[in-house]
Amino acid sequence: MDNNKYDYNKMVPLVQEYCVEREIAVPRWRDAHEEELIAFHANVLRAIRRLGFEVAEEDRQEVAQEVAKRIIGLGVLQPFLEEEGIEEIIVRDGFVQTEREGQIFDEGPLAPDEYFYRLARRIADLEGKELSAEEPQIKVGLPDGSRFTATIPPMSRRGTAINIRRFALKRFTFDDLLERGSVDEETVEFLKEVAASMDVSVVFSGRPGAGKTTWLNAFSGYLPERAQVSCIETFQELQLQVPHVHHLVVEEDPRIMGEAINTTILRMRPDVLVIGEVVSREAVEYIMALNLGIVTHTTIHAKGARLALTRLESLSRESDIPWEERREIIGSCLGLVVHLAKEYDEKTGKYRRFMSELLAIKGIRNGEYDTEVLKAWDGEKFTPLKAGREIWRGR
C-alpha cells in the first residue's frame, strides 16, 4: 500500500479526538499487551469508518494500523522519528521543522498548537512526569532513545515548543568524518594512536549540534579490544564501538549521576570511563575520576577549547575541593581537548561541521593552564600537526 494515498496528518488528529471524546484508552508505548494493541486497532478502524474517511476497502486494515501506530507514538511527528537522516524535530506554535545534516527544513503547520500541547502532556504522563502551568517544561527519553524536550505556556510565550533530538542509527567512523571534510588524515592517525594508548583523557567540546557525540563514538572505535570500558549517560546517545561495555543510563539528577560514577569507578574498575556529557555537577565526579588515574573521555558545551577547561571549573564550583586543587587536577590529568565547530558556509548555503582546534594540556604553570594548540583549521586548511606525542605520552 502507498501511504502517500492518504492524508495521515488530517486523519491522525481527528481519530485521536474521537478516542478522547469516547474515553478510549491509548496503549502505553512501553510494555503494552498484545490484547490492548488489538483492541485499540479495532477502535481506530471503527473511528476511520465513522468519521467518513474515504479509504479503499483493501487498505483499511493497513491504514488503521498506521494511524494506531502514530497515535500510540508521536502522532503526526511519528514519521519523522522513523525517517533516516533526521537529527532534530522542531515544533513552534504548530509549525514543524526538521534538521538534516545541519540544515533546517520547513515541514509546515501539521496540526493546531492545541494538538501539540496535548501530545506533550500525554508524553509527560507516559513517562511519569508532570507537565502543567506549575511545571511547564520536561525533558524525557523516548522508547527509541531520542530526547524529547517540551515547554508549554505560560513559560513558552507563543504556544507549545517541542524539540526532539534524534541520534544517528549509523555508527560513524573517522573514515566517514574524513569523507565529509570534517578532519584530515594526519589528525585521524594521531587520535587513533591516542585512543589505542589508553594513556590520555580527551574532552570533545563545541556548541550544540557540532558533532561532539559523533566524534566520541568514532574515537571509541580505536580503543583496544582488551579495554574494560564503562559508559554512563542520562540519555542513551552513545554508540561506543567496543565489543564489551558496561553501559549505564541513569536519571538526569546530579546526585544519582554522581553515585553511579563513584560506584563504577570503585567497583567496576574500568580501564576507560566514558561520561556521555558533562552538563552539571557530575563535573565533580569527572574531575575525581581524572584524579584517580582513570582515563576518562567526555563531551562538553563550550565556545572554544580553552573555554572547555573554564566550563569544567564552573560546573564543579559546588565541590568541596578548592578551586586551585581542581585546576591542578584538570591541568595535570586531562590530556587533550578536541574542539568542534559548526559554521554556516555562504558559498554552499549549508552548515559545515569540522574540527577547529586540537589543544594539548601540558600542566599548570604559575597557576594557569599550560596549553599548546597542536593543530587547527586556519580558515582554508588544517595546519600541520605539532610534535604532540612528546606532550601527552608518558604523562
Q: Give me the torsion for CA of 387, 388, 390, 394, rounded to 10°.
A: -170
| Residue 198: C-alpha distances to residues 89, 294, 386 (Å) | 37, 9, 21
CA 212/CA 310 separation, integer angstroms: 18
What kind and span of H or E run contains 104?
Answer: strand 103-109
pLDDT of residue 195: 95
Q: With a cut of 70, which residues of the chain have pLDDT below it? A: 1-3, 168-170, 252, 254, 387-395
- What CA–CA distance (Å, rounded) separates 91 from 178? 33
Location of C-alpha cell 540519555: 235
Residue 1's pLDDT is: 59
Q: Identify whether the C-beta of residue 270 lies closer than 8 Å to the C-beta of residue 247.
A: no
- Evaluate whether 231 touches 276 at the Cβ level (below 8 Å): yes
Q: State how far the Cα of 348 lies from the Cα of 367, in Å rounded to an integer.
A: 44
Over the stretch 175-220, which tens digit does the pLDDT of each residue have? 999 998 999 999 999 999 999 999 999 999 999 889 998 999 999 9
Query: For the whole model, what pTM was predicted?
Result: 0.79
- How far is the C-alpha of 110 from the C-alpha of 9, rounded, in Å? 6
* Angle formed at CA 361 by CA 360 and CA 363, multiple of 5 degrees: 150
Rounded distance between C-alpha atoms, residue 224 and residue 218, angstroms: 13
- Strand arrangement, sheet containing 86-92: 103-109, 95-100, 86-92, 161-165, 147-151, 137-141
Q: Are 119 and 110 in contact (CB under 8 A)?
A: no
At residue 232, φ and ψ (nearest 5 deg) are -130, 130
345, β-bridge pairs: 350
Name which of 248, 277, 254, 251 is nearest 128 in CA terms.
251
Q: What was the pLDDT predicted at 234?
A: 77
- Characterize the bridge pairing of strands 350-365 and 368-376: antiparallel
- pLDDT for position 92: 96
CA angle (100 as vertex; 353, 305 as ends), nearest 5: 25
Burial class (CB in 10 A: 0-12, 13-18, 19+), 95: middle
| Percent of the chain residues past pLDDT 90, beyond the cut | 49
Question: How confident is the model at residue 160, as a pLDDT?
Answer: 95
What is d(CA 77, CA 163) in angstroms, rounded to the nearest whole number? 11
- What per-residue confidence (pLDDT) applies to 389? 53
DSSP 26: P
Q: What is the pLDDT of residue 268?
A: 79
- The per-residue pLDDT for 319 is 82
- How many helices (H) and strands (E) are present in the chain, helices listed first? 13, 14
Cα–Cα distance, 383 to 365 (Å, whole number): 26
**Which secondary structure element, helix H or strand E, spans residue 361, and what is its range?**
strand 350-365
CB burial readout 102-132, b (16+ within 10 A) else e: beeeebeebbebebbbbbbbbbbebbeeebe
Q: What's the pLDDT at 391?
A: 52
Residue 244: the pLDDT is 81
pLDDT at site 394: 42
Distance of alpha carbon 165 from alpha carbon 389, whole angstroms: 37
Q: What is 181-199 written as a DSSP string?
A: TSS-HHHHHHHHHHHHHT-
Please, what sign has the CA dihedral across residues 125, 129, 131, 132?
positive
Backbone angles phi, psi at 112, to 5 degrees: -65, 160
Q: How far is Cα 203 from Cα 112, in angstroms, rounded to an integer? A: 42
